[in-house]
Structure 1
C-alpha cells in the first residue's frame, strides 16, 4: 500500500514549490485572476462583433494585441533587468487593474466606440507584456533551481485550465449579465494578484546594467543568446513546433467539412479548440515526473517529437473522417490532447532552462523574448496553415506540419548537440 501511495505521489504534480509562502500566494492569486483575465479575452472580441457585426474588426484584435506584445515584451524584459522586479510587478499589475476598469466604464456607458475598445486592448497587452517576463524572472529568486520545472508546471496548469473555463463562463454570463459585469469581475479579481505582489520581498537584480533600458539594452539581450547556444535553441525548437505544428487555424473548416458540424460552432468545433489546453491541464496534473528529470535538453527534444507525431496523427484522423466520422473525431481530439500534454512539459522545461541557465542580469530580457516567441509562433502558424490548407487540404496541411516538426527537431538536435546534452546540476547532500 505504501508503495502504491509513493507511486501516485511521484506521478501527480510536484507541489513542493507551494511550501514557499511567496510562490504560494502568487499561485493562489493566479487561480482567481486567470478566470477574470479570460473573461476579458472573450468579452473584447464579442463586444466588438456585437457593435460592428464585422469579423474584420474582430480580426484587428490580433494586430492590436500582437504589436504591443512584441514591442513591450522585449522592452519590458529590459526594464525587468534594471529595476527592482517587485516594483515592476506592482506597477504593471496596477496598470492591468486600471485598463480593466476602463473596459468596464466604456461598457457601462453603453459602448459603441470600437477604436476605443481596440486602443484599451492594446494598452492592456502592453502592461501584460511587461508583467509576464518580470513574473517569470523572479522565480529563481524565490525557489531552488531544482524546483523550477515543478513551479512552471503548476503555473501553466492554471493558465490552461483558465483557457478552458474562462470562455465557458464568459459564454454563459454575457447573455445574462452583459459585457460590463465581465470587465468588472476581471478588475476585482486582479486585486488578489496585487495583494500577493505587494507582499513579495524586494527583488533587486544582481549585476543590473546601469544604462537606461532602451533599444541597446534589448539588442544586448539578444546578443547574449548568440553566445549561449543552449538558450538560443530553446527558442528555435519552440518556433519549429509552433510554426509548423499548430493547426488551430484549420479547426473551423475541419469541424465543418471533416466532422459535419455547422459552419458557426458546434460540438466538434468546441472539442477541437478545447483539446490542446485540456491536454496541457492533464499533463500538468500528472507532472510529478518533470522535477526528477536532469537532462532537460533531451526532454525538450522528446516532448517536441511527441508533439509532432501527435499532429501527424491528428492529420491522419482528419483525412479518414469521411469514412469513420465519429471515431475519427475521437481520435483527432485524443491526438490534440496528447500534443497539449507534450507541449506543457516542453514549455515547463524550456522556461526552467531560461530561468536557471541565464545570468540574473538578463533573465528579464530572455523572458521577454520567450513571450514574443510564444505569442508570435502560433500566429505565424495560422497564416502558414491557412495558406497550405487552401492548396493541399486540411488533412495534408496538419499531417505535413507534423512531419516538418519531427524533421526540423531532429536536424536542430544534430546541429546543436550541446542542447541535447544540457542537464541541471542538483545540490549535493552536503550542500543541501
Structure 2
C-alpha cells in the first residue's frame, strides 16, 4: 500500500510543531500510533513477526555452539566476534540513514540479514560440526541487523508526531515482548524436538514479514542540511553528541546496565548444571525477560504523562539491577545445594524464582528503553537523527555483547552465580552516582526536550 503525499505532508508538519502536553490515557497501552499512521502499523507488525524468528535463531545458535563445544565461553565468542564489526557498522549505518532514502537502506539491509539466516540453515542441514562458520555468519547477520535497526528507528519520527513517540516506544516494547517470549520458547521446543535445522528454517520463513513492512513505506529522503556519506559525517554526529548531555547520559547509564546485567550467556550452562531442564530452561528464562517487557508495555498508558524522564530512566535501571542481583542469589543458592546434573531433573522452585527475576528485569529494562528512545527521538534534529540513532544502536546492541563476554569470562574464572550477583550491585551503585552528578539529566522535562 502506497502512502499518499498528503499523509506524508501531515506527518512532516507534526514533526516541526512544538510538542503538546503529554497525553494522559488509561493504564493500557495507547494504540493511537497504529491508527494515526498506517505505514507505522505495517512496519511495526512486520517487524514483530520477523523478530520472533530472529530470537529463535539467537537462542538456537547459542544452544548449538554449546552442544558442539560444551563451553559457555565459546557461546560468548558469538558476541565477541560480532562486536567490532557491529560497532563500526552501527555508526556507518546511522550516517547512511542521514544521507540516503531510509526506506531503500532498510530494504537492502533486510535482504542481507535474510541471506545470512538462509546460510545458517544450510550449515545446519549439511551438518557442519565446526563452530567458526556459525561465528562468521552470525557476525554478518548482526551487522545487517544493526544497520536495519538503526534505520528503522530513525524512520519513526517521520511517521509520527512527537507526542505519540512514547506510545510508539511502548508498542515496540509489546512487539519485543512477543518476540522474546514466543521466539526463545519456540526455539527451545524445536531444538529439543526436531533440531536446529528446522529452527533456522522457520526464521527464514518468518523474515518475509519484515520485507512486507518495509516495502510498503513511502520514500523517506533526507531532510535539512544533508552531508554526503563519509567519515566526516560520522565525526559530525559524534561532535553533536558532545553538545547533547541528556542524550549522552542516557547512553552511558544504559551501557552500564547492559554491560553488567546480561546473564543470558549463562543460560545454557544454568539449564545443564544448576537448574536442569536443558534447552527448555533456556527458553523459559529468556522468555521471562520478554514477558516482563510485554507486561510493562501493555500497562504503559500512563508513561506518556511522565515529564521527568531522566529520573524515570534512573529508577527503572535501579530496579533492573536489583532483579539481576536477585537472579545471582538464586544461582548461588542452587549451587550451594549441589545443582542439578541432568536435563531431565528440574529444580522447580529455583527455576520459578529465577524466571520471576528475569520478568522483573525485562519489565524494568523496557520502561527504561521507552524513555531513552523517546528522549532521543524528541530532542535530536532529523538531519542528525540517523547518526545519533546509530550511536544508540551501538550502545544497546554492543553493551549486551560486552556483557556476554564479561559474564562468560567471569564464569570461566569463578562460578555461574558471580556475574549476575556482582553485576547487579555495580549497576545500582554506578547509575545512582552518575545521575546524581548530572542534575541536568535528573531534571529533564519532556515538555521541553533538550538534547
* TM-score bracket relative to the smaller structure: 0.7 to 0.9
- Structure 1 residues not aligned, in runs of 5+: 1-8, 428-432
401 and 142 in structure 1: CA distance in 2 versus 1, 3 angstrom threshold: same
358 and 373 in structure 1: CA distance in 2 versus 1, 3 angstrom threshold: same
Aligned to 2:253: 237
1:418 equivalent to 2:426? Answer no
Aligned to 1:217: 233
Question: 1 CA distance for matches of 2:421 and 2:193?
Answer: 41
Across the two proteins, how many residue pairs are aligned to each other?
414
Question: 2 CA distance for matches of 1:267 and 1:113?
Answer: 24
Aligned to 1:293: 306
Question: 1 CA distance for matches of 2:413 and 2:131?
Answer: 35
Is the 8 Å Cα contact of residues 261 and 267 (structure 1) preserved in structure 2? no
300 and 392 in structure 1: CA distance in 2 versus 1, 3 angstrom threshold: same
1:144 equivalent to 2:158? Answer no
Aligned to 2:179: 162
402 and 60 in structure 1: CA distance in 2 versus 1, 3 angstrom threshold: closer
Question: 1 CA distance for matches of 2:137 and 2:173?
Answer: 26
Is the 8 Å Cα contact of residues 146 and 426 (structure 1) preserved in structure 2? no
Report the more deviating stretch, 131-140 or 238-247: 238-247
Is the 8 Å Cα contact of residues 82 and 208 (structure 1) preserved in structure 2? no
Shift of 1:396: 6.3
Question: 1 CA distance for matches of 2:321 and 2:249?
Answer: 17
Aligned to 2:115: 98
The 5-angstrom pairing of residues 271-282 of structure 1 reads 271-282=284-295
Shift of 1:167: 2.7
Aligned to 1:337: 359
Alignment root-mean-square deviation, CA: 3.3
The CA deviation string for residues 362-412 of structure 1, in whole angstroms up to 9 with x for no partner, is: 211222222221222223334444565677766565344323222212211
334 and 195 in structure 1: CA distance in 2 versus 1, 3 angstrom threshold: closer
1:79 equivalent to 2:127? Answer no
Aligned to 1:130: 147
1:372 equivalent to 2:394? Answer yes
Question: 1 CA distance for matches of 2:328 and 2:278?
Answer: 20
Report the TM-score when normalising by structure 1. 0.83
Report the TM-score when normalising by structure 2. 0.80
Shift of 1:11: 1.6
Shift of 1:37: 2.0
